[in-house]
Structure 1
Amino acid sequence: MTQRPLPHERQPANEGPRAGARNRAALVAAARVIYAEQGLNVPLSAIAKRAGVGQGVLYRHFPDRAAVVIAVLEENVCQIELASAADGADIARLLGVLTWHQTESAAFVSVLHADGAGRRSGVPDCAVPLSRRVERALRKHLPAGHPLAARPDDLMIAVAMVSGAVAGPTREHRERRALAAWRLLGVDVGPVRPFGR
């Protein structure tokens, strides 16, 4: 015989779709932290555990590793695209937004090392379209005569070089290194901050 709850005992509410949205957000937040700490090749079970959900919940939202990577990195790329579309956008401001994301997200740095030929240094194939979107957003504001406009590949090679310099224990330290790398390349960078702040 099953025991029915007494009227004064509260049952947890079934939150339906709200729980799904909350679980997805928790998974993306957990993946962002874990990717920053351990890179893009961590086990998906570690992401589910950090988010406080079962692996089945993870797979309900993300059918494979690539889907998780894209969900996490999409925010970084969208910020750069939004900055590119904003009034008064110029290459220096865009490079400031890009540099902020480089200093905040080790996983995003991996995306910036993706090239059109596919995988490179452990970068998943799904990162290539994200890298191309970043390049399009930047190139749209790259004036003729700019140091990064001399040859077609210069822009993303410079971005990858700066990404390679972004290392250190704190965001401030990583920012100083990124700005020093831009300076060595002879490139002016606007304020290092996320778009909209």
Structure 2
Amino acid sequence: MTTPKPEPRKANRGPSAGPENRRALIVAAREVFGDGGYAAPLSSVAKLAGVGQGSLYRHFPDRLSLAVAVFDENIGELEAISNRADSTLDELLDAIIAQALVSTAMIDMITADLDDPRVQHLQTRIEDVVDAIVQRERAAHRIGDSVETADVLLAISMLAGVVARTPADRRGSVARRAWSLFHAAFAPSERGTRVPPTQ
């Protein structure tokens, strides 16, 4: 009977593995925060990334620094949409729905660490994204003149929370239903100026 050979151990590549490990930790944290929320154990992140706890804390000394790295990428995707001259509020909401699980963890982080400058910076970026879209939608008469950026930010927070807590097979229909309510609330109220929602 042949004795099975042990699995070869990964070679320790030292500092050269730093960027790769950091990337693996961000990818793993996105999944862990999506499944377990902002309070999910960081040991799960290290395990999923295939690195030790020491490596995790070398790259991200605390929970917030890891979360900021994850959410920075999410906001970057939303900024790319906002920066396009033809982008719409519907398109932004579609992206937020696609990010819904991690978006909910981000909202939890902002609530828990609102006074931290890193969180304030992320929140400012989100506000800038939404404000640019609101100004564009208002100019195109797709939303009412009274609709403010704060109104849309509140709607996004509510929508992300609802979608994240809905079973995966029902998220699409629930998101469309919720967004139809916001469309009705945000639509121009003046007679003859109402424009149907962008499909």
> Common fold, TM-score beyond 0.5?
yes
Q: What is the aligned length? A: 172
Amino acid at match of 1:185: F
Whole-Å Cα distance in 1 between the matches of residues 16 and 162 of structure 2? 41
Q: Are the equivalent residues in 1 in contact too, given 2:127–2:149 (CA < 8 A)? A: no
Whole-Å Cα distance in 2 between the matches of residues 148 and 59 of structure 1? 48
Tell me the residue number matched to 2:46: 48
Match of 2:102 among 101, 107, 118: 107
Offset at residue 149 of structure 1 (A): 4.9
Give percent identity, aligned residues only. Answer: 33
Q: Could you tell me the TM-score, scaled by structure 1's length?
A: 0.73
* 1:118-175 CA distance string (max 9 Å, x none): x53x4665544323312211211213351585245211111112123213221x5223
Offset at residue 181 of structure 1 (A): 0.6
Q: Counterparts in 2 of 1:119-158, with a 5 A limit?
A: 120=111, 122=112, 125=116, 126-142=118-134, 143-144=137-138, 146-147=143-144, 149-158=146-155
Whole-Å Cα distance in 2 between the matches of residues 111 and 86 of structure 1? 24
Whole-Å Cα distance in 1 between the matches of residues 85 and 154 of structure 2? 27
SS of the residue corresponding to residue 140 of structure 1 reads helix
Q: Are the equivalent residues in 2 in contact too, given 1:109–1:163 (CA < 8 A)? A: yes
Q: Could you tell me the TM-score, scaled by structure 2's length?
A: 0.72
Whole-Å Cα distance in 1 between the matches of residues 133 and 36 of structure 2? 34
Q: Are the equivalent residues in 2 in contact too, given 1:34–1:47 (CA < 8 A)? A: yes
Tell me the residue number matched to 1:95: 93
Tell me: CA distance 1:180–1:35, structure 2 relative to 1, closer, same or farther (3 Å).
same
Which of the pair has the greater relative contact order for Cα pairs under 8 Å at 6+ separation? 1
Q: Are the equivalent residues in 2 in contact too, given 1:111–1:131 (CA < 8 A)? A: no
Tell me: CA distance 1:175–1:132, structure 2 relative to 1, closer, same or farther (3 Å).
farther
Amino acid at match of 1:97: A
* 1:176-195 CA distance string (max 9 Å, x none): 212211101126465xxxxx
CA RMSD of aligned residues (A): 2.9
SS of the residue corresponding to residue 133 of structure 2 reads coil
